[in-house]
Structure 1
Amino acid sequence: MSLNGLTEKVSVSVDGRVATVKMNKPETMNALDKEMIKGLIGRLKEISDSDDIDIVVLTGTERAFSSGGDIKAMLKLNDEYDFFSIMDCINELIITLYSLPKITISAVSGAAAGLGFSMALATDHIIAEKRAKLAMNFIGIGLIPDGGAHFFLTKYLGEMKAKQLIWEGKTLSANEALEKGLIHEVAENLEEILQERIEDYLQQPIQAMIKTKKILAELNRPHLLKVLELEKYAQRKMRETEDHKEGILAFTEKRKPKFIGK
């Protein structure tokens, strides 16, 4: 089975025991619509079945790892079935990525925002280029984080700090994210540090590392699945609020929103 190729704006390249999965929609800063999410799920599942791959690198393009969910596509989701369908795809992507029986590395350049940030948090190791910007910024459009962000942020930060990060919706520099413990490395030269990390992993007893990952993923899977379901139904409620409608309007008009708490 050949893993190399392009599917739904998701490209995969294989170099020895390493597969690189690249989100490749630079014109939208790799905004995640349903087509792209399904493309990621499909390629990750193909990689999961390959005994020849031990490390998976998830990356984007120069300006963005991923700017998050595609807001323009979400605005067209008037039907409840369509909304739940895309949320189910998001949940499948996150559980597939988190449980992948490989060592996963996010190589982040440019923006990693919203769902894009959630995806990075679902991997085992995050390297951010020095000029990268990371944001859990759903609050700015009157929504809650999804993609398992409540699960991951609580694991990384604890409940109190996770709430503050979510409520503030602040854009973090790579160094700020490192100081908070949300990422593992900041790179002046992303490709150089990425290759160093890959070479280090390849010299380790990597099957033992993967077995530890499998045990912890299996232990945490029920909790993550519960969080993903809670996020799905809560997000549906948030989409009905006046604050969300105002947040979207303000976003499209490029102005600060005026929230009323309803």
Structure 2
Amino acid sequence: MGNLVEIEVKDRIGHIRLNRPYKLNALSRELVEEVIQSLNSLSRDEEIMVIILSGEGKAFCAGGDIAAMKNLNDAYEVAKWIDFVSDLSKKMIDIDKYVIAAVHGYAAGAGFSIALAADFIVADENAKFALSFSNIGLIPDLGLIKLLSERISPQIAKEWISSGKVISAEEAYSNGIINRVSKGSVVEEAVRFAEFIVQGPSVSNKYVKYLVNHVGELHKETAFMQENMIQAMLLQTYDHKEGVDAFFEKRTPQFAGK
């Protein structure tokens, strides 16, 4: 079976590929552990500006591994399992670096959850996002309800979830769920999309991700204060000074991440 995750670093982009194609990259314990370890490793590498998460084979991720879940004997074991798998969504949201989900085939159930946990989604034109939970009498997990409801209206979120909706790439794009639709290689499109991140200032991008992810939790005055304090710090960075110099010298800034 080989490694369940393949890692590659190229042109300041860290690639994580789910490599369980014979199971449509369904989330087993071992696969989740390896992805979390990979995210930790790549997020610590200062040369990497962005991470692209993709899947090998016919699908991005077909959701949770049903065979593995059948072996859970009671509510306590089930709760432990769901908490464990949810750590993957939390890790994607919490790391400093931007994460792009490059989706082809199906992102179903928990696979849709982890796509939504990414900062950006680039999807193949034939990709499908499946909310199949209601078909088996369940609700979404791994943060899907919150992450989806932050992107679309509550009325549409409830309709999609309760009807077991399968969403096309076109519909997902028109509803603001994904950033790009690819007609060719979705990973290559994700690399092209990542250009503004690779060439941009990593320090300020780190704080943009943090502030946007948490702004809904903040009182207005707290949000203003956080922005102002971070801005005061960023005004002292090399990258800010480089950006100003490049503006006046009419050249492209060369940010250094400091």
Query: Contact 1:54–1:103 (CA<8 Å) still a contact in 2?
Result: yes
The equivalent position to 2:198 in structure 1, one of 202, 212, 217, is 202
Q: Deviations over 1:33-55 (max 9, x none)?
A: 11111111111112222222210
Report the residue type matching 2:56 in the other structure: T
Q: How does 1:55-66 map to 2 (within 5 A)?
A: 55-66=50-61
User: Which residue in the other structure is 1:50 paired with?
Assistant: 45
2:97 matched to which residue of 1? 102
- Kindly report which structure 2 residues correspond to 1:107-118, keeping only aligned pairs within 5 A, or say none: 107-118=102-113
Q: How does 1:6-85 map to 2 (within 5 A)?
A: 9-85=4-80
Aligned residue in 2 for 1:233: none
Residues 191 and 93 from structure 1, CA distance in 2 versus in 1: closer, same or farther, beyond 3 angstroms? closer
Runs of 4 or more consecutive aligned structure 1 residues displaced over 6 Å after TM superposition: none
Corresponding position of 2:210: 214
Query: d(CA) in 1 for partners of 2:197 and 2:54?
Result: 18
For residues 209-231 of structure 1, the C-alpha deviation after alignment (integer angstroms, 9 at most, x for no partner) is 22111233355689xxxxxxxxx
Equivalent AA in structure 2 for residue 209 of structure 1: N
Secondary structure of the corresponding residue to residue 60 of structure 2: strand
Task: Give the match's secondary structure for 1:53.
Answer: coil
Aligned-residue CA RMSD (Å): 2.0
Contact 2:49-2:197 at 8 Å conserved across structures: no
Structure 1, residues 165-185: CA drift from partner, whole Å, max 9, x if none?
A: 101112121112112222111
TM-score (structure 2 length as normaliser): 0.78
Q: Which runs of 5+ in 1 are unaligned?
A: 1-5, 223-262
Distance 1:83 1:8 in 2: 26
- The answer to whether the 8 Å contact 2:54/2:187 transfers is no
Q: Which string of whole-angstrom CA distances, capped at 9 and with x for unpartnered residues, describes residues 105-141 of structure 1?
A: 0100111000000100011110100111111111111
Q: Where does residue 126 of structure 1 map in the other structure?
A: 121
C-alpha distance in structure 2 between counterparts of 1:62 and 1:25, whole Å:
8
Query: Counterparts of 1:218 and 1:186 in 2: how far apart (Å)?
Result: 27
CA–CA separation in structure 2 for the residues paired with 1:7 and 1:19: 20
Identical amino acids, percent of aligned pairs: 35
Q: Give the length in aligned residue pairs.
A: 217
Q: 2:248: which partner in 1? A: none
Q: Secondary structure at the match of 1:182?
A: coil
Q: Distance in 1 between matches of 2:188 and 2:37?
A: 29
User: Which amino acid is the alignment partner of residue 96 of structure 2?
Assistant: P
Measure, in 2, the Cα distance between the counterparts of 1:131 and 1:62: 14
Deviation per residue, 1:184-218 (Å, 9 max, x gap): 11100124422211223222223312211123335
- Deviation of 1:78 after TM superposition, in Å, equals 1.4
Give the distance between the partners of 1:124 and 1:33, measured in 2 at CA. Answer: 23
Q: Highest CA radius of gyration, 1 or 2?
A: 2
Contact 1:135/1:170 (<8 A) preserved: yes
- The SS at the match of 2:194 is helix
Structure 2: segments with no counterpart, 5+ residues: 219-258
